[in-house]
């Protein structure tokens, strides 16, 4: 019947319709194809590696925040962790605005001359990550007495001046690099630089109230949360893998091995030292020994053997243990040992490259490269003068305009309420936040007299 559908002609109809549409729409389709967006540039293997390793580095500020908060008192927990958190925010924006351009010889303010194909964005990402580590380190050394307003400006100074210029001289192909000085991941550029800034700050701030007695003897101020400190150290170890490997993807496996060996041997060395001297493996000193070994490894992790890594770490750990005791004798108060771990450990790491390195391009004096040792000594001396001397001048000048230290009443009652407006542990607050923090019978006048006596 004529109403019956004939399916045998269906394929022929579809073909005819396709031919007709192609002839009619060929012009518009071609124009649409021409207007399609260009393909996205492919990400180079180096850029991808920098992004991955840089992401791991972000665990380090978190670890440093936990470490500093755990090793100090509960009444300052909110203030200490907020400093690290907000310091990273200041560092990233400041580095984008100008620090990155300084590292690269004055080109790239606000990343204005960056190209997706050039790798500028990946370089900015991992260098900003390492800068955040440098900004976070002094927080622990100056904790429980450093004012937030002064810290804000100090973070800008580190991000715009202290870190970028020395990074330009080394990582940016500057004059130290041309003389042969090397620092693979930042024993000097990051850790020693931040440790020396912390030393300058500790000298200007002075010790915490109640840290030393009138005869100069040490009065222990116990850490309030050892488990938090241990957790922070675990995060630091994981972050350190990215920190050390970011600049040498071709040597990632050997660098990872060296990194975990230095951390483990440094921790064992410090624990052994404490057992021999006090019969107890002090967890806080053990952590610092582990970190000292990691700091020392960062300068030459790509050019040292596993045996050399262990030797470097053992020496770094012992130097850290001795340095803590020496600083206390000099009444330089460092609640977390950052000056010893990062400052002393970082400088030793730079020198260790000139002694133990045995790579294709970098050779230490034990393998005939005496020139490398000379370059490392020169770089370490320049770093001490730059980071130590310039930081002292800056902090002393800034202290005239924005006091570096909080008032003694605030220090005694805790910085959480006065500086941040929030208590770190509100459910466990055993003393009214409006008292001194030790006893409600201690008046503000008495606390100020005690502070003035210790200061003099």
Q: pLDDT per position in the chain (456 positions), as tens?
A: 333 444 555 444 544 444 444 454 445 444 444 444 444 445 678 888 999 999 999 999 999 999 999 999 999 999 999 999 999 999 999 999 999 999 998 888 999 876 545 678 999 999 999 999 999 999 999 999 999 999 999 999 999 999 999 999 999 999 999 999 999 999 999 999 999 999 999 999 999 999 999 888 999 999 999 999 999 999 999 999 999 999 999 999 999 999 999 999 999 999 999 999 999 999 999 999 999 999 999 999 999 999 999 999 999 999 999 999 999 999 999 999 999 999 999 999 999 999 999 999 999 999 999 999 999 999 999 999 999 999 999 999 999 999 999 999 999 999 999 999 999 998 875 444 433 333 333 334 444 555 555 555
Q: Which CATH superfamily is domain 45-401 in?
A: Ammonium transporter AmtB like domains (1.10.3430.10)
pLDDT of res. 113: 72
Residue 118: predicted pLDDT: 60
Element (H, E) at 25: helix 10-35
**Which pLDDT score is estimated for 456?**
56
From residue 193, how far is each of 145, 224, 255, 256 by CA, in Å?
Answer: 21, 28, 22, 24
Among 263, 269, 306, smallest CA distance to 285 is for 269
CB 85 within 8 A of CB 158: no
Angle at which helix 345-356 crosses helix 283-297, to 10 degrees, equals 40
Furthest-apart CA pair in the chain: how many Å?
Answer: 119
Confirm if 409 and 447 have CB atoms less than 8 A apart. yes
Could you tell me the residue ranges of all domains in the chain? 45-401
Amino acid 25: pLDDT: 44
- Please answer whether residues 411 and 145 qualify as being in contact, where contact means their C-beta atoms are separated by less than 8 angstroms: yes
What are the structure tokens assigned to 1, written together?
Answer: 């019947």
Q: What is the pTM of this model?
A: 0.87
Residues 415 and 408: their CA atoms lie apart, in Å, by 10
The count of residues in the chain is 456
pLDDT for res 18:
45
Please give the Cα distance from 429 to 426 (Å, whole number): 5
């Amino acid at each position: 019947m004529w109403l019956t559908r004939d399916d045998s002609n269906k394929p022929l109809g579809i073909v005819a319709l396709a031919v007709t549409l192609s002839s009619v729409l060929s012009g518009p389709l071609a124009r649409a194809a021409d207007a399609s967006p260009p393909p996205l540039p492919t990400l180079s293997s180096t850029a991808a590696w920098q992004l991955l390793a840089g992401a791991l580095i972000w665990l380090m500020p978190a670890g440093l925040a936990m470490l500093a908060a755990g090793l100090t008192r509960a009444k300052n927990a909110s203030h200490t962790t907020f400093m690290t958190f907000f310091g990273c925010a200041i560092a990233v924006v400041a580095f984008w605005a100008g620090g990155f351009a300084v590292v690269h010889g004055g080109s790239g303010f606000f990343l204005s001359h960056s190209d997706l194909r050039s790798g500028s964005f990946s370089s900015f990402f991992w260098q900003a990550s390492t800068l955040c580590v440098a900004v976070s380190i002094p927080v622990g050394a100056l904790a429980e007495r450093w004012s937030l307003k002064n810290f804000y400006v100090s973070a800008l100074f580190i991000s715009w001046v202290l870190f970028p210029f020395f990074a330009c001289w080394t990582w940016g192909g500057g004059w130290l690099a041309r003389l042969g000085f090397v620092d693979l991941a930042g024993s000097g550029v990051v850790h020693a630089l931040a440790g020396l800034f912390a030393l300058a700050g500790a000298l200007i701030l002075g010790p915490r109230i109640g840290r030393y007695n009138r005869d100069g003897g040490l009065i222990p101020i116990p850490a309030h949360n050892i488990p938090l400190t241990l957790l922070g150290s675990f995060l630091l170890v994981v972050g350190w893998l990215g920190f050390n490997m970011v600049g040498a993807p071709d040597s990632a496996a050997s660098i990872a091995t060296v990194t975990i060996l230095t951390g483990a041997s440094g921790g064992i060395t410090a624990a052994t030292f404490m057992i021999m001297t006090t019969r107890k493996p002090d967890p806080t000193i053990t952590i610092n020994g582990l970190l000292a070994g990691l700091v020392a490894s960062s300068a030459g992790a790509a050019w040292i053997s596993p045996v050399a890594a262990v030797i470097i770490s053992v020496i770094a750990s012992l130097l850290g243990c001795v340095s803590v005791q020496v600083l206390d004798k000099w009444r330089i108060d460092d609640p977390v040992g950052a000056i010893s771990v990062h400052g002393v450990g970082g400088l030793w790491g730079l020198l260790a490259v000139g002694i133990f390195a045995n790579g294709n391009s970098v050779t230490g004096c034990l393998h005939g490269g005496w020139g490398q040792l000379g370059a490392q000594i020169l770089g370490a001396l320049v770093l001490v003068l730059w980071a130590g001397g310039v930081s002292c001048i800056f902090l002393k000048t800034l202290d005239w305009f924005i006091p570096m230290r909080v008032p003694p009443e605030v220090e005694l009652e805790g910085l959480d309420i006065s500086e941040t407006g929030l208590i770190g542990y509100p459910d466990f607050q055993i003393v009214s936040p409006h008292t001194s923090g030790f006893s409600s019978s201690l008046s503000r006048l008495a606390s100020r007299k005690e502070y003035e006596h210790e200061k003099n």
